[in-house]
Amino acid sequence: MDLVGHLPLGGMQSPASPSAGFEALGRGTGHLALDQEPGRPFVFVAREDAEGSEVVAISINDPSHPLTLGSWRPQSHSIGDLTLFSHGSRHYLAVTHADGLSVREVSDPKEGQFDAAADVPREPGYHHVFAYRHSNGRSYLLATGGGDIDVYDVDRLLSSQTDPVASYVLPETVTNVDYGYHAVTAQWHADTESDRLYAAGAGGYYVFDVTDPSNPSLLTEVNSAAVQIGHAVSASPDGTHLVTAAGYRTAPIRIFDLRPTFEGAVPRIRVAAGAWTADWRNLSENHELRWPFVFAASMDDGLQVFNMMNPFEPYTVGFYDTWDGPRASLANERTHRNGAWDVDVRNHDGLVAVTDVNTGLWLIRMEGFEGWDGRGWGFANVSTVQDWDNGPTQSERW
């Protein structure tokens, strides 16, 4: 692992926050979104300070010297997730927060542009958002905040029509868990030529066919003991395996093989094929899958990368400790939000961006990983990165 650049983004988190913890350490950095286009060397990072929350636009034109270009501060004091998308020739940033969802045009962040494009009020706010280029030619924002998955059509949204075009509810109520979905991704499934949605939430993890966005069809689910609420989920490029996080300390990243359900052998998956952890005392908050590698923002353990080529026995291939301060304590919840929080991978050159709650933005390269294209590994070229111009249907062709 080579450290390319580091930009401390410090600032104290609001003292009123239950996750304030080691106040003096400056813990304000949250989610990030890394622009994937070769001509757009930008990364957007959520941060929090005593004044509130903001999104910072950072130029990584020279990755060894990341440079803050500007910022945007929503009224809400609590920013959640960020995601970038393109529409036509313009570029947008979707931001979740305690008041809902905001979309800002960031076509020219060099000029500090954060022009209002849409604001979706929603009580009690959204936590995660994922931008997906559907095979039907349209683009959608999938937003979650502990309830349903709300689906926003980007065209409509940018035309000030802020109602969701669909809302996906849990297939069935999970007793004793007053919660819905926590996070969601979507990915083209080349084998069946369908759009699939992967959701984490109450009861575990769910896979839907959303080729017709207005009629989601549940394909399978994963209900693993000891996962009351699924936290994060990614699918392998061929859709056969899920990589999942459970969101609590001591929980490893679990890898599930979905094939027995697709083949009709079992109605649902309950047991992981394999699991990985950097340190069983900790957890991984977010991850990015670029098969066979999984890049994990592993809190106290910093950036970790493991290889899941053999899902039964995933193994660590790289790491960089973005946080070398005090370790979190199970006993003190105020110390839990500690270390590497979010990660993103730029497919065209393999640059890895990590946000650490305490220490800010890190730019890292892994030896031998100079980009990712699924076709190079025998898959469709699908990941969290979207082809906004062409959509996913041609992702198997060079």
Q: Which residues bind another protein (CB under 8 A)?
A: 174-177, 225-228, 246-252, 254, 257, 260, 265-266, 269, 271-273, 275, 277, 280-281, 312, 326, 329-331, 333
DSSP 37: S
**How many CB atoms are closer than 10 A to CB 144?**
25
Which CB sits closer to another protein, 157 or 207? Answer: 207
> Is the Cβ of residue 116 or residue 330 nearer to another protein in the bound state?
330
Whole-angstrom distance, CA of residue 241 vs CA of residue 349: 25
CB of 333 to another protein, least distance (A): 7
CA 156, CA 137: separation in Å to the nearest integer?
14
Structure tokens at 389: 């111009």
152 vs 181, which CB is nearer to another protein?
181
Q: b/e map of 285-324 (b: 16 or more CB within 10 Å)?
A: bbbbbbbebbbbbbbbbbbbbbbbeebeebeebbbbbbbe
By beta-carbon proximity to another protein, the closer residue of 151 and 246 is: 246
Least distance CB 328 / another protein (angstroms):
11
Minimum gap (Å) between residue 397 Cβ and another protein = 34
The full length of the chain comes to 398
Give the number of C-alpha atoms closer than 13 A to the C-alpha of residue 3, restricted to the C-beta side. 11
Q: What is the dihedral of CA 236, 240, 243, 246, to 10 degrees?
A: 150
Shortest CB 330 distance to another protein, Å: 6
In the bound state with another protein, the residue whose beta carbon lies nearer, of 3 and 271, is 271
Toward another protein, which CB reaches closer, 159 or 250?
250
Judged on CB neighbours under 10 Å (0-12, 13-18, 19+), 335 is middle
User: Which of 93, 278 has the CB closer to another protein?
Assistant: 278
Instruction: For the CB of residue 229, give the shortest distance to another protein in the complex, in Å.
Output: 8
Amino acid identity of 353?
Answer: A
Measured from the CB atom, the residue of 312 and 349 that comes closer to another protein is 312
Residue 278: CB minimum distance to another protein, A: 11
Backbone angles phi, psi at 391, to 5 degrees: 75, 180
Q: What is the DSSP secondary-structure string of 284-317?
A: --EEEEETTEEEEE-BTT-EEEEE-SSTTS-EEE
Q: How far is the CB of 251 from another protein (least distance, A)?
A: 6
Is 47 within 8 Å of 30 (Cβ atoms)? yes
How near is the Cβ of 300 to another protein at its closest, in Å?
13
**Residue pair 362/356 in contact by the 8 Å Cβ criterion:** yes
